[in-house]
């Protein structure tokens, strides 16, 4: 398993760094552009949410991002000490495990009807917890 760990300041310009590392790691491992874009979009959306809502744009605070790839999936974890999220996880990131059970999604197939950008970038799993004073988000996209 290949893993990278990046710590950034909670500033909007800094959130580009983890998405750049993510793209480089996945491109080097010949992951499809569609999966790379899904993971990039989800990570950028989450980091923006942490910066704006969790830290209220306090650029002195830190966010740690761990990115792993093992040939079967992309695993992204963020940790921060900002305000816990009041929003349900499905309002922050779209993922198959957060959809109602009566919604059927075919793996990475674009539907015939237009959808919002967030719905086009569906991850497989998203988990959120607060543990030992840290907000921990886990984003998973299976290959």
Tens of pLDDT, residues 85-96:
888 888 888 899
What pLDDT shows up at residue 86?
86
Supply the CATH classification number for the domain 2-142.
3.30.565.10
7: alpha, beta or left? (left if phi > 0; alpha if psi -120 to 50): beta
pLDDT over 70 percentage in the chain: 86
Mean pLDDT, residues 45-52 taken together: 95
Q: Is the pLDDT of residue 139 over 70?
A: yes
Structure-token match 């949410």, residue found: 49
Closest CA to 123 of 7, 27, 41: 41
pLDDT at 118 over 50: no
Average confidence (pLDDT) over 17-31: 97
Determine which of 36-40, 94-98, 111-115, 125-129 has the lowest per-residue pLDDT on average.
111-115
**Contact between residue 85 and residue 46 where contact means Cβ atoms under 8 Å apart:** no
pLDDT higher than 60, residue 42: yes
For residue 106, what pLDDT is reported?
55
Mean pLDDT of 29-56: 95
The arithmetic mean of pLDDT across residues 53-77, rounded, is 95
Among 14-28, 38-52, 99-113, 129-143, the range scoring the smallest mean pLDDT is 99-113
């Amino acid at each position: 398993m290949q893993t990278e760990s990046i710590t950034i300041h909670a500033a909007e310009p800094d959130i580009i760094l983890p998405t750049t590392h993510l793209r480089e790691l996945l491109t080097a491992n010949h992951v499809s552009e569609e999966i790379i874009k899904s993971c990039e979009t989800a990570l950028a959306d989450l980091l923006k949410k942490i910066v704006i809502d969790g830290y209220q744009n306090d650029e002195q605070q830190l966010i740690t991002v761990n990115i792993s790839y093992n040939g079967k999936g992309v695993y992204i974890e963020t940790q921060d000490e900002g305000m816990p999220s009041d929003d349900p996880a499905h309002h922050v990131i779209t993922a198959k495990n957060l959809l109602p059970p009566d919604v059927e999604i075919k793996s990475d197939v674009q539907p015939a009807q237009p959808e919002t950008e967030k719905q086009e970038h569906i991850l497989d799993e998203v988990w959120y917890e607060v543990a030992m004073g840290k907000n921990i988000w886990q984003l998973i996209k299976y290959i």
